[in-house]
Amino acid sequence: MSSEGRVRKRLTSRTASLVAIVIAVLWTTPTFGLLISSFRPELEIKTNGWWNFFGDPQVTMANYEEVLLNQGLLSYFINSLVITIPSVLFPVAFSAMAAYALAWTRFRGRDWIFIGIFALQIVPLQMALIPMLQMLSPVQEALIWPYPTATVWLAHTCFALPLGIFLLHNFISELPGDVIEAARVDGASHARIFRQVVLPLIVPALASFGIFQFLWVWNDLLVGLVFAGGGPDNAPLTVRLAEMAGSRGQEWQRLTAGAFVSIVVPLIVFLSLQRYFVRGLLAGSVKG
Amino acid sequence: MSFDFAIEGEKLMMLVYGIIGFAAVMGLLLLALGKVDSPKDRWVAIGFLAPAGILLSIGLIYPAIRTLTLSFFDSSSTSFVGLDNYVWMFTHAETRETLRNTALWVLLVPTLSTAVGLLYAVLVDRTRFESFAKSLIFMPMAISFVGAGIIWSFVYAYRPTESDQIGLANQLVVWLGGEPQQWLLEDPWNTMFLIAVLVWIQAGFAMVVLSAAIKAIPSEITEAARLDGVTSSQMFWRVTVPSIRPALIVVLVTISVGTLKVFDVVRTMTGGQFRTSVIANEMYNYAFRYDEDGKGAALAVFLFLLVTPIVFYQVRLVRQRRKEAR
């Protein structure tokens, strides 16, 4: 490389780093500011900017106490957990079964069913909400079901299946065919092959879809709002937070701490399992 | 203090029952399927597909058809009104504003997120702190739209000129010698500031997918270009961008579909007031707050129609891939 070229290269790499740093700062500062603020006393948050914290650090846990106990976010946190765990488990299992059938059993119309399910991914959530609610509320009343949580599980499971089947099918169909054929020849049933051969091999794929679904359900507002109602008995964190943002938009000491309570779980899941999440993303798809 | 251990315990029991019930169903189903196994796969396949098939029928297929029908009926779903709901959608002033806003979202969010994601992916590619640098941009993907809405509402917070600013955006303006702004109140700029939030969330997705595509470019190609002495910008436009075209399309399409349905950001930050509403938000309002099922359904169907071309395109891709695989 000529010396002129080298100089130019260094210059571009310097501006390149600068641009990268600017983007990185822009992308992290808002969250960082919120985190700092959530630990500042109410009066401080409301009268001066969080950047003043570094000149005059005052730390308090009062905001967290206030939102978790007095504002009841702890209850909503539990609701979110109760909603999320089954809403991840069910679709992962059902998708794996369906994906196995679509990849390794032979029957007429198989490809069309697969394409049909794939296409269902694009049906917007919004298309399903009104009839599903109309259908489920009489069932709920008839059963005198005190917790609509089960309806939320059902809704999330239905909406997750097209993506789940598509993603898992991509992995399952790429398993070595001779392993499965050999097991068939040995007289193993499909149910047994699925349990003992396929499931152990697709654990990473299950994990990546599981994380995807976890983040989706934990962060969902629309399904929670429509199916869980607004009360502390069933509604997830997001519903309560959205409500607080709407009605108490200036109570920053609550909003900052509340937002962090909702962010912390997905952030931990995300940071510890990022590898699987990225793999799921790269398997490439569209979420309805 | 509003924390009652009895109530919370009951909820957790719900969770336990749900999981036990699920485990029982799965266990029995697999047991039964092990028994019916025959050389003909058909019955076993039906068994494997049954849970997903039933749920998809009651949770997506039937509701989608029903929504389509409801969109031709009035607010109480009793009398047929033909295309009235659709005519309303395109003539009513407020809804037209909603359509305009949605168009802005769909134009800007995919292009801006992809641009930022691509730029950043190229800049940090093969640098020392690459994976750390990528996590920083990627992190907003783990945050709920509601959480992101609160984070950014705080950035946009407004205080009158005479008092100290608490929002970063206005503080920057003040430092630069300007007047603090009510970012979220003035149309049409407020929509732009909401759009920035979704760009903030989606850029990480674009970055990850595009970064993987960049790494998959064969090194012979980049080496050859480098030997020819191309500048970095030539490298970017003539080598990188053409090589990752398929990934770029996937990213643009995926973000567009997601953007069409944007709901949480708008609802959390402005509630759709100050002329910032979008289709998905109005759909929610009409269907679940104003009890106007017909109009809500029509808005949902319209959303569906907007994404249909994308379905066709993707179905074609998937069918090609399945043919090649055989």
**What are the boundaries of each domain within chain A?**
3-60, 72-282
Cβ pair B140, B148 in contact under 8 A:
yes
A chain contacts of residue B260, beta-carbon cutoff 8 Å: 124
Q: What is the pLDDT of residues B18-45, one digit of tens each?
A: 899 999 999 999 888 888 767 678 888 8
For the entire predicted model, the pTM comes to 0.88
pLDDT of the residue at A258: 92
d(CA A70, CA A53) in angstroms, rounded, equals: 26
- The C-alpha of A56 sits at a distance from chain B's nearest C-alpha, in angstroms, of 15
d(CA B277, CA B267) in angstroms, rounded, equals: 8
- The C-alpha of B123 sits at a distance from chain A's nearest C-alpha, in angstroms, of 6
Task: Indicate the pLDDT class of residue B1, thresholds 50, 70 and 90.
Answer: very low
Nearest CA in chain A to B201: A27
B chain contacts of residue A56, beta-carbon cutoff 8 Å: none
- The C-alpha of B263 sits at a distance from chain A's nearest C-alpha, in angstroms, of 8
Please name the residues between 206 and 245 in chain B that touch chain A, using a CB distance below 8 Å. Answer: 208-209, 212, 229, 231-232
Query: Residue B64 above 50 pLDDT?
Result: yes
pLDDT of the residue at A27: 94
Q: What is the pLDDT of residues B194-219, one digit of tens each?
A: 999 999 999 998 998 899 889 888 88
The distance in angstroms from the start CA to the end CA of chain A is 50
Q: Which of B153, B55, B239 lies closest to A136, judged by CA?
A: B55
Which candidate from B34, B60, B146 shows the least CB-CB separation from A192? B34
- The C-alpha of B142 sits at a distance from chain A's nearest C-alpha, in angstroms, of 6
pLDDT by residue, tens only, chain A of 288 residues: 445 555 555 556 788 889 999 999 999 999 999 999 999 998 888 888 898 888 888 888 999 998 888 888 899 999 999 999 999 999 999 999 999 999 988 888 888 898 888 888 878 888 888 888 888 777 777 765 556 788 899 999 999 999 899 889 888 888 888 888 888 888 888 888 999 889 998 988 898 889 889 989 999 999 998 888 777 788 999 999 998 888 766 888 899 999 999 999 998 988 888 888 777 777 654 333
The CA-based angle B99-B200-B165, given to 5 degrees, is 100
Q: Which of B260, B59, B55, B270 lies closest to A95, judged by CA?
A: B55
d(CA B168, CA B177) in angstroms, rounded, equals: 14
Q: What is the pLDDT of residues B125-142, one digit of tens each?
A: 888 888 888 889 988 988
Q: Tell me how crowded residue A184 is: count the other CB atoms within 10 A of its CB.
A: 16
d(CA B43, CA B237) in angstroms, rounded, equals: 54
Which candidate from B48, B53, B258 shows the least CB-CB separation from A105? B48
A chain contacts of residue B106, beta-carbon cutoff 8 Å: none
Tokens of B102: 């949605």
Note whether B60 contacts A23, CB cutoff 8 Å. Answer: no
d(CA B153, CA B167) in angstroms, rounded, equals: 8
Arithmetic mean of pLDDT over chain B: 87
Angle subtended by helix axes A73-104 and A149-172, to nearest 10: 40
Query: Residue B101 above 70 pLDDT?
Result: yes
DSSP annotation of B3: -
The sign of the dihedral angle between the CA atoms of A245, A247, A251, A257 is: negative
Query: Residue B111 above 80 pLDDT?
Result: yes
Picking from A43, A100, A130, A282 by the largest number of B CB atoms within 10 A of its own CB, the best residue to mutate is A130
- The residue assigned the tokens 């920057």 is B172
The CA-based angle A249-A254-A260, given to 5 degrees, is 110
pLDDT average, residue stretch B61-76: 90
Rg of chain A over CA atoms, in angstroms? Answer: 24
Tokens of A122: 């694009």
pLDDT of the residue at A1: 43
d(CA B247, CA B278) in angstroms, rounded, equals: 28
Q: Please give the full DSSP string across chain A, using - where no structure is assigned.
A: --HHHHHHHHHHHHHHHHHHHHHHHHHHHHHHHHHHHHTS-HHHHHHS-GGGGGTS----SHHHHIIIIIS-HHHHHHHHHHHHHHHHHHHHHHHHHHHHHHHH---TTHHHHHHHHHHHTTS-HHHHHHHHHHHHHHHHHHHT-S-THHHHHHHHHHHHHHHHHHHHHHHHTTS-HHHHHHHHHTT--HHHHIIIIIHHHTHHHHHHHHHHHHHHHHH--HHHHHHH-SSTTT--HHHHHHHHHHHSTT-HHHHHHHHHHHHHHHHHHHHHSHHHHHHHHHT-----
pLDDT of the residue at B291: 87
Residues β-bridged to residue B80 = B73
Note whether B200 contacts A27, CB cutoff 8 Å. Answer: yes
User: Distances from the Cα of A247 to the Cαs of A34, A184, A240, B271, in angstroms?
Assistant: 19, 61, 11, 10
Cβ pair B210, B118 in contact under 8 A:
yes
Nearest CA in chain B to A34: B151
Cβ pair A214, A81 in contact under 8 A:
no
d(CA B253, CA B311) in angstroms, rounded, equals: 10
Which candidate from B41, B133, B301 shows the least CB-CB separation from A107? B41
Q: What is the pLDDT of residues B283-306, one digit of tens each?
A: 999 988 888 889 999 999 998 898
Picking from A13, A22, A23 by the largest number of B CB atoms within 10 A of its own CB, the best residue to mutate is A23
Helix and strand numbers, DSSP H then E, in chain B: 16, 0
Q: Residues near B300 by Cβ (< 8 Å), separated by ≥ 6?
A: A124, A126, A127, A129, A130, B67, B71, B283, B287
CA B187 to chain centre: 24
Note whether A195 contacts B116, CB cutoff 8 Å. Answer: no
Please name the residues between 13 and 52 in chain B that touch chain A, using a CB distance below 8 Å. Answer: 14-15, 18-19, 22, 26, 30-31, 33-34, 37, 41-42, 44-45, 48-49, 51-52
Note whether A115 contacts B168, CB cutoff 8 Å. Answer: no
d(CA A288, CA B208) in angstroms, rounded, equals: 20
Nearest CA in chain B to A77: B8
**B270 compared with B113, residue with greater pLDDT:** B113
Which candidate from B2, B145, B209 shows the least CB-CB separation from A219? B145
pLDDT of the residue at A143: 67
pLDDT of the residue at A286: 37
Beta-carbon-side half-sphere exposure of residue A95 (alpha carbons within 13 Å): 33
pLDDT of the residue at A7: 52
DSSP H/E element including B18: helix B5-36
pLDDT of the residue at B109: 95
DSSP annotation of B178: -
Q: What is the pLDDT of residues B46-63, one digit of tens each?
A: 889 999 999 999 989 999
Superfamily (CATH H level) for A72-282: MetI-like (1.10.3720.10)
pLDDT average, residue stretch B175-186: 87
